[in-house]
Amino acid sequence: MKIVMKLGGSVITKKSVKDFPTDINEIEKHADDFIHIGVLKRFGREISEALSGNIQLILINGVGPFGHYLVDKKQSLEVVHESVRILNEKVVEYLNSGLEIEKVAPNETCKWDGEKFVIDELWNRGQKIINSNKILSTYGDILNGYKVISGDDLAVLLAKLWHADKIISVIDKDGVFTKNPELHDNAELLKTIKDVEAVRFERTSIDVTGGLPAKIRKLQSLKTKSQIINGLVPENIKKAMLGDESIGTLILPK
């Protein structure tokens, strides 16, 4: 079983903060203040318990304010690169519950050619990591031309190249709702989505990659199904990895 797992910035970081450092030294100094450390440590335990000889895993983390805030404020490429790298280092550190994880930086291995993302070098390195029975870890970043390559972009691109069996997208809600459940009491959980255009969404925070509708469209571009689950519920990650599709929302390809 080949699984690509995207850990959303909404669940691993304090994504909706109104202020975030723009100096690299300050970001490094205060990084833990913007990370849900306990959540990541639990994720690591659940992943470790679910992994077996027949499961291979690619882990991609969203970046929350470590990327979105800085891009929104038009910070330099260097600042954004270093900020998201710092987050990835922390993510791997806190996840590591006996897991063998190897990191690959997108800004060193991917580019924007004016029309599409080219991730050949990332995938070349990633295959070697996976073939050595380790977990590939990568993350959202910004490329030449100030072009954002999101964790969702990478999840879709890598899943396609790898012929993954499934994408698991981990967020801070129970799945996809007919309306934003934080704003509407009558919001209903959608167990399956075939047409994202039939769902309304309200934007509630800074997200330079388009938010949930864009996430679903990217997932639907694949020929494999995806599952969006709530990472704040203990055991959800473990259950989804082991094949439980009763939780969250299933995204079916078009």
Which position has the higher pLDDT, 53 or 186? 186
Domain that includes residue 144, residue range:
2-251
Question: Which of the listed ranges 16-20, 162-166, 171-175 does the model predict with the highest average pLDDT?
Answer: 162-166
Instruction: State mean pLDDT over 108-112.
Output: 97
> What tens digit of pLDDT does each residue of 37-56 get?
999 999 999 999 999 778 99
Give counts: helices (H), strands (E), the chain: 10, 14
**Number of domains, the chain:** 1
Provide mean pLDDT across the span 220-239. 92
Distance CA 36, CA 9 (A): 10
The DSSP code for 34 is: G
Looking at residue 220, which CATH number applies to its domain? 3.40.1160.10
Q: pLDDT at residue 210 above 70?
A: no
- Whether the pLDDT of residue 207 is over 50: the answer is no
Pairing of strands 147-149, 141-143: antiparallel
Distance of alpha carbon 178 from alpha carbon 86, whole angstroms: 35
212 pLDDT exceeds 80?
Answer: no
- What is the C-alpha to C-alpha distance for residues 179 and 183, in angstroms, rounded to an integer? 8
